[in-house]
Each structure stands twice: as C-alpha cells, then as structure tokens.
Amino acid sequence: MTQHTGLPPHAEGPRVTLRSPGELAEALPYLMGFHPDDSIVLVALHGDRSRFGGRLRLAIPEDDGEWPEAARQLTACFVEGARARGRQPDGILVFLCQDPPPGTPPARTAERLRPLAQALRTACGALDVPVPEALCVSGGRWWSYVCPDTGCCPAGGAELGSGGTSVMAAAAAFAGIRVRGSLKQMAARFEPLPPPHDRIQETALDRACAVLLPRLLSGDGDGDGEGEGNGDGDGGPGGLVEETVAALAAVLDRFRAGPPPPSCTDDEADRHDDALLTPAQAARLVLGLQDRVARDRAAEWVEQPDAGAALRLWRALARRCTGAYSGHAAAPLTLAGWVCWACGDEPEARVAFVRALEADPEYTFARLLHQACNSGLDPEPLRRCLREERQRRETRERG
C-alpha cells in the first residue's frame, strides 16, 4: 500500500504518513473538512511520496446507467484542471461514500457501487493516471476495491476507527482543523420550517406581500429585482430599500446580542435563532431581500463582528421561505453562502449556493459566487468592492 502524506492545503501542522487503506478512509473527513455523503471524491497524489493535492466531489448519480459517462467526465475535468494549474497528478485516490438504506447491510451498498469504482479506475487509466486505492465508506465501515489482501482489507469490510482517535485526527486537532458534519446535516440547517410552523409562516408571507405589492407597483421601491427594473439603488428614507436595510440591521443587532449557548447542538442553535424572529418580521425581511439593491447592501455584513450573526440570520430567513415562497430562499441562501465563502468555510458555502440555485436556477448572484468559489478564487476583491461602496455611500450621506 502506497504511503500518503499531508494535511489539507490550508493547514499548518505536523506531517502525517498514512500507511493503510483504513487510515485513508478515516482521514477522508479531515481532507475534505466535512463528512461527504452520497459522494464520489477524487484526491490527487503528487510526487514519490504521494502527497495529497486537489480534491473534487460529485454526488453519486442515482441512475447507475449514468455511471460510466459520469466517471469519464469527472476524471477528465479533474485531471485537466490539475494540468491547467501545473500540477499533473501522479495518482488519484477514489472514495465512494454512501450509507445503506435502512435495514440493508453496508456490504450490499459496497457491492452495488463496485461498477462505479471500476468505471472511475478505467477512466483514470485512460488518462494515464493510476489509481493506487479505491475505497467505499458505508455505514461506519470501509472496503477496498483494489487491495486483494484479505488480511488488511477483508471482503466483508472493516470498521472505521473511533472518531478523533486516528493519527489524522490528532494532527488535524493540532493544526486547528475542524471537521464539519455531513453534507446532509449542513443542508438541513437551510430546510424550511416543519409543520405547523410552515403554514403559519406562509400566511405571514401572504399578508406581507399584500401590503408591499401595492407599494412596489406604485414605484415606492428604491431598487430593483434580481433581473428587472432600473432603480438607482440610492433610496430615499421612506423607500422600501432603506426600510428593509434598517429592519435587517435591527434584527442583526438582536442576533449579535443573543448568540446561542456555545455547548448547544446545531439543531438547538437554529431553534434559538428561529425564536428571535416573529413570522411577520421574517416575512417582511424575506420579501425585502428580493430587491437586488437591498440584498447587495446586506452583503456588506461580511466583516467581523457582523459575519457570525449575519450567517445565523440568513439561515433563519432561508428556513422561513415556505410553501409558495420557496423560491424566495435564493436571496438569503446566497447571502449565507457568501458569508461562509468570505470567512473560509467553503464546504458550507457550496451547500448554500447549491440550495440557492435549486430554489431559483436563474439567480445570477448565486451562479456567479458559486462559480467563483468552485474556481478557487479569492473572495477578498469582492469584499473590498463592498467595503469601498459602503464608504462611498456613507460619504454621500454625510455630505
């Protein structure tokens, strides 16, 4: 088994050598920064010591008839992207991560995914890049599709080590790396409120819409929508944009002053934040954020001490987009993704951008930010532009 060395690219810490497929399987969450579920993960290897390089994740296609073409496209994209950056991979690790359906043994999932692993190995071979290891992780166990030695890679799979006890876990803790939950757990924080709260919120949205729509039609709004109108964005004191921004700022102060207890779970933290908003308040803010200028003003809250409270607020507002208003979630979801990306949390940023594009596939702001995040661009230039725009506006207001 080839030894593999390294921590995620952003980490500073001790060098780690992984000597077995089991250690590779246990290291995967630390390589990604989260627990990938329902995922194909490719990890590039470089040099004689097989140091870790770039990573790429794709959801496993539900239709197994799509697997061969998905494997060809995914490996081609991965290798071509690495070559374009001057980092031709010397090898690729393949991980297939999918928990079994309830009542089904994990071994059945590992066997079902075997043709996908073979398709990925074949596609890599066609590009002259070897696959020294291909692993399945399912139901707390791992399988090797490459190693024939049942002594180290039993046919029935092997149990993953306890969380936090592996050599990679120790090195990651030393380097200050925090592993997030699974993709499903991150996405769940943006899910609409459950019954009966969803119906209560939808009623509040209906009422707020009935009040705001006549004002929008009469031209009382100061900005414009995502792709409509021609507002200049300055906004008078009595306009909808300024009202929205003022209301958002007041709620942001409330979120900043009342953080959830540090020891609570994500679910408890989200319930805490949900209690900080009434249905009527949330409805007014959700509808106000549909204006592009109001949304762009809200995007300025990406610096500390605003960022953490703003992320909690955008999550809470995304959860209030229920029923017929599910498409309205694109704005708060994109703002949540922007805060995460700007603060270095790329896994949650990608989750939020994907959810925003599911809510509204034509939402330009989400498409642009998602593409920039996936391309590895630095968010600082955009953050600087927002900072400068805020300074110009405040100068105009003082003058």
**pLDDT tens-digit map of 154-196:** 878 899 875 554 555 555 554 555 667 788 899 999 999 999 9
Residues of the chain with pLDDT under 50: 1-13, 165, 174, 223-225, 227-238
| Domain harbouring 85, CATH code | 3.40.140.10
226 and 125 both lie in a single domain: no
**Size of the chain in residues:** 399
- Indicate the SS3 state at residue 17: strand
In angstroms, the CA 36 to CA 385 distance is 34
Q: Could you tell me if 95 and 135 are in contact, meaning their C-beta atoms sit under 8 angstroms apart?
A: yes
289 to each of 53, 221, 250, 305, how far by Cα in Å? 39, 12, 15, 21
* pLDDT of the residue at 155: 79
22 to each of 10, 29, 182, 185, 282, how far by Cα in Å? 24, 13, 19, 24, 47
276 and 394 both lie in a single domain: yes
> What sign has the CA pseudo-torsion 37, 41, 46, 50?
positive
151 and 234 both lie in a single domain: no
* pLDDT of the residue at 260: 95
102: which DSSP letter? T
Q: Which domain holds residue 15?
A: 4-179
Which of 159, 179, 199 is at the close of a domain? 179
Number of neighbours of residue 36 by Cβ within 10 angstroms = 24
211 and 301 both lie in a single domain: yes
132 and 72 both lie in a single domain: yes
Question: At 18, which helix (H) or strand (E)?
Answer: strand 17-18
9 and 128 both lie in a single domain: yes
99 and 192 both lie in a single domain: no
199 and 340 both lie in a single domain: yes
Nearest Cα residue to 292 out of 331, 243, 234:
331
294 and 347 both lie in a single domain: yes
242 and 175 both lie in a single domain: no
In angstroms, the CA 346 to CA 349 distance is 5
Burial class (CB in 10 A: 0-12, 13-18, 19+), 174: middle
Which of 131, 146, 179 is at the close of a domain? 179
Which of 179, 201, 225 is at the close of a domain? 179
269 and 191 both lie in a single domain: yes
- The pair phi, psi for residue 46, each rounded to 5°, is -135, 140
List b or e across 103-127, with b for residues whose CB sees 16 or more CB atoms inside 10 angstroms: eeebbebbebbeebbebbbebbeee
214 and 352 both lie in a single domain: yes
- Calculate the average pLDDT of the chain: 86
Q: What is the total count of domains within the chain?
A: 2
In angstroms, the CA 146 to CA 125 distance is 14
In angstroms, the CA 134 to CA 117 distance is 7
* pLDDT of the residue at 106: 94
